[in-house]
């Protein structure tokens, strides 16, 4: 049986690692490269790195960032790939096949896209044909509206008036390889995943679904794995405030008989 994955998510805004809440409030947590190195050593199965910056470039010359020049996402990808041994998915500012190619050439294993498929209906199929379906992760940001769950794009600002399960099926048919499913309502709230949302999408498609949004304790990981068909559980904020956090979360799942890889710290 395929192992369930535990995946930390790193949010980058204007060159800094940030904590997010409801896609509206962001707290600066410091150096993203240092964080990635720690997460790599703490038994993470993969890493998802999402650049939510508005600008293409950002100033990383602050002393606590320890980066000598003005930089952009491609330089960050190179830096991240040098300090980690786990597969990396990068998302943010992908508007063309060339954007995908540049990210893969700098060290990304997969890319995550959110908005561009709504603007270019052929983008998923073209990307899958060019780079392989296994490389294309569709990021679905969902929110509860008066009509039920709806997909939002552009950083949670634009309501696309389509249910997450329907959009996931369309993306699957177009050649996507995986779904990253995030609850805007639960983002940073620490009250657990939206189980109804996860089950509605994971039961609608054959693609692997990654759960994201709302984790505040280890039990929230186990709840999603018990009650839904997701293939992986992911979180951002909870992994930034505790030493060996990913290792401890995986240890909890492993000792409670969940089908995850045996946790092991990477000692360097």
Per-residue model confidence as pLDDT tens digits over 32-53: 777 788 888 888 899 999 887 7
Does 265 reside within a domain?
Answer: no
Instruction: Give the CATH number, domain containing residue 39.
Output: 3.20.20.70
pLDDT of the residue at 55: 53
Q: Which tokens is 60 given?
A: 């990383």
Does 267 reside within a domain?
Answer: no
Does 152 reside within a domain?
Answer: yes
Share of the chain above pLDDT 70, in %: 85
pLDDT of the residue at 13: 73
Tally of structural domains, the chain? 1
**Closest-CA residue to 53 (of 88, 26, 13, 92):** 13
pLDDT tens per residue across span 137-178:
999 999 999 999 999 999 899 999 999 999 999 999 999 999
Does 261 reside within a domain?
Answer: no
Query: Residue 77 pLDDT > 90, yes or no?
Result: no
Query: Quick check: 238 and 189 in contact, CB under 8 A?
Result: no
Share of the chain above pLDDT 90, in %: 63
pLDDT of the residue at 29: 57
Mean pLDDT of the chain: 87
pLDDT tens per residue across span 92-103:
889 999 999 999
pLDDT of the residue at 258: 97
Q: Which residue has the higher pLDDT, 153 or 81?
A: 153
Does 260 reside within a domain?
Answer: no
User: d(Cα 153, Cα 245) in Å, to the nearest integer?
Assistant: 30
Does 268 reside within a domain?
Answer: no
pLDDT of the residue at 75: 86
Does 38 reside within a domain?
Answer: yes
Query: Residue 8 pLDDT > 60, yes or no?
Result: yes
pLDDT of the residue at 103: 96
Strand bridging mode 232-235 / 209-212? parallel
pLDDT of the residue at 61: 46
User: d(Cα 22, Cα 24) in Å, to the nearest integer?
Assistant: 5
Domain interval for residue 232: 5-255
Backbone angles phi, psi at 116, to 5 degrees: -60, -35
Does 117 reside within a domain?
Answer: yes
């Amino acid at each position: 049986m395929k192992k369930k994955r535990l995946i930390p998510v790193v949010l980058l805004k204007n060159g800094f690692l940030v904590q997010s809440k409801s896609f509206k409030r962001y707290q600066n947590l410091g150096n993203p490269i240092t964080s990635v190195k720690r997460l790599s050593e703490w038994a993470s199965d993969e890493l998802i790195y999402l650049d939510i910056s508005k600008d293409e470039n950002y100033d990383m010359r602050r002393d606590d960032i320890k980066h000598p020049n003005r930089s952009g996402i491609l330089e960050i990808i190179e830096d991240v790939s040098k300090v980690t041994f786990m597969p990396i998915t990068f998302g943010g500012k992908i508007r063309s096949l060339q954007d995908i190619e540049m990210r893969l050439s700098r060290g990304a294993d997969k890319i995550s896209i959110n908005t561009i498929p709504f603007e270019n209906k052929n983008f998923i199929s073209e990307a899958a044909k060019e780079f392989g379906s296994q490389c294309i992760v569709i990021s679905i940001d969902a929110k509860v509206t008066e009509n039920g769950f709806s997909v939002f794009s552009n950083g949670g600002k634009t309501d696309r008036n389509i249910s997450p399960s329907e959009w996931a099926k369309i993306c699957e048919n177009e050649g996507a390889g995986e779904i990253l499913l995030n609850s805007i309502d639960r983002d940073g709230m620490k009250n657990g995943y939206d189980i109804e949302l996860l089950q509605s999408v994971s039961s609608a498609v054959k693609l692997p679904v990654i759960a994201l949004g709302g984790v505040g304790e280890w039990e929230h990981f186990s709840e999603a794995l018990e009650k839904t068909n997701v293939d992986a559980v992911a979180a951002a904020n909870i992994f930034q405030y505790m030493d060996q956090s990913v290792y401890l979360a995986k240890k909890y799942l492993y000792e409670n008989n969940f089908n995850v890889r045996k946790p092991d710290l990477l000692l360097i």
